[in-house]
Structure 1
C-alpha cells in the first residue's frame, strides 16, 4: 500500500468534513460530515497505529475552515557550515525552528526559535524557500504542513542548547549528522547550501 497516497486521501477527507461542519446549516448534512470525519479518523488510526483518542485529538479536533499548519526554520551559516540543533525527542539533528506562533511574524518566529533552541541572537533577513511537506521525503505526517526557511545572521549570543534541544553545532555540507527527518531532510539542507553559494538564487516555491 502506498502510505503517502493514502495519507493524502485521509487528510483530504478530514479537511472536507471539517469545512462541511463549519458551514452547513442542515442537520442531515452535519450527520454526514461527522461520519466522514469518523472515517478519516479510522483511516488515520489504521495508518499510524496510534490509539483513537490520540488520533482524534491531533488530527480531527480543530474547527473552522481547514488550512495547512506552518513550520518555520531558521538558516544560519558560519564559515561555510550550517547551524543545526539536536532534538531531545529523537536524538537527531535539524535546522532550528518549529510551529509558527500566533502573534509572531515568520521572521519573528525564526528569531525566537533560534534563540530558544540554539542560544543565538540573530537578525532574519531573507526568505529562502516555502515548501509543501508532501513534496519532500519526510515520514508520513497527520498534519498538512507548509515549511518556511528564512536566512538569518548572528548578532550575538553563543551556541547553547535549550529546553527541547540537547546540543548545538555547525556542520559542513559533506559532513551532515543523522537528521530528524520529520523536521528537516538532507535535500532541504543541501538546498540551503545552494543559497550560501548563490546569494541571488530565487526563492524556492513548491
Structure 2
C-alpha cells in the first residue's frame, strides 16, 4: 500500500525535527523550522487531520517507528479477538509498548486488561512494518505478534473493549485498523506450520 506523497511528507517532517534537535547553526535552524511548517500544512491538506495532530514528531529528539504488540491467542484453533468501544470493530488484544515493560510483558498485560485472560507468550510469531498493511497511516509502527496461551482468567471487558470472542481464522469479523487480515494470516501460518519467526 505504497503512498509516496505521505511517505515524502513524513520524511521531510522527520528530517526537520532531527535538524531542530541537533543543529546549532541559526540559518539551518530557520530552514528546518520552515520545512517543518510546510510539512505540517501539507499533511493537514493531504489527510484532513486537525493541524494540532499534524506535528507528528514534536515530542521526539530523533524520530523512530513506534513499537506495538498484538497477542495471537489460540484455543482449539480459534483466535481470541476483542471488540473495541471506539471503533465498534475487532482486533487482537494489544497496544503500544510501555516504558516499564518488555514487549512480551506488554502483550501479557494488554491481553489481560482487554480480555480478562491471563496468557503465557510462548513464541514471537512475526514482526510487521505496518506501512505495508495500513493505507495512509501517519504513524510508523513495528508491530510484534506473540503466540499466547490462556493459563487463567475469564472473559471480562475493560474501558477499551465491549465484547470478547473466539473465531475461526477463516471467518474473522470486521477488523479495526489496529490489525489486518494479512498480518493475522501470516502470524497464524507461522503458528500452524511451526515456522521460524516472520519479519520484515
Q: Into which bin does the TM-score normalised by the smaller protein fall?
A: over 0.9
Residue by residue over 1:61-120, the C-alpha shift from the partner in whole angstroms, topping out at 9 and shown as x without a partner, is: 223111111111111001101111111111000111111111110000000100111111
Alignment partner of 1:164 is 2:163: no
Alignment partner of 1:76 is 2:40: no
* Counterpart position of 1:86: 83
Asked if 2 retains the 8 angstrom alpha-carbon contact of 1:71 and 1:98, the reply is yes
Give me the CA root mean square deviation: 1.4
Partner residue of 2:178 out of 155, 175, 183: 183
Aligned-pair CA distance for 1:40: 1.3
Alignment partner of 1:126 is 2:120: no
Aligned-pair CA distance for 1:3: 7.7
Misfit runs of 4+, over 4 Å: none
> Which sections of structure 1, spanning at least 5 residues, go unmatched?
none
Aligned-pair CA distance for 1:192: 2.4
* Counterpart position of 1:101: 98
Counting only pairs closer than 5 Å after superposition, residues 18-167 of structure 1 correspond to structure 2 as: 18-56=17-55, 59-136=56-133, 138-167=134-163
> Which sections of structure 2, spanning at least 5 residues, go unmatched?
none
Distance 2:25 2:198 in 1: 43
Superposition TM-score, scaled by structure 1 size:
0.92
Change (3 A) 1:186 1:125: same
Local SS of the residue matching 1:112: helix
Residue-pair matches, total: 200
Superposition TM-score, scaled by structure 2 size:
0.95
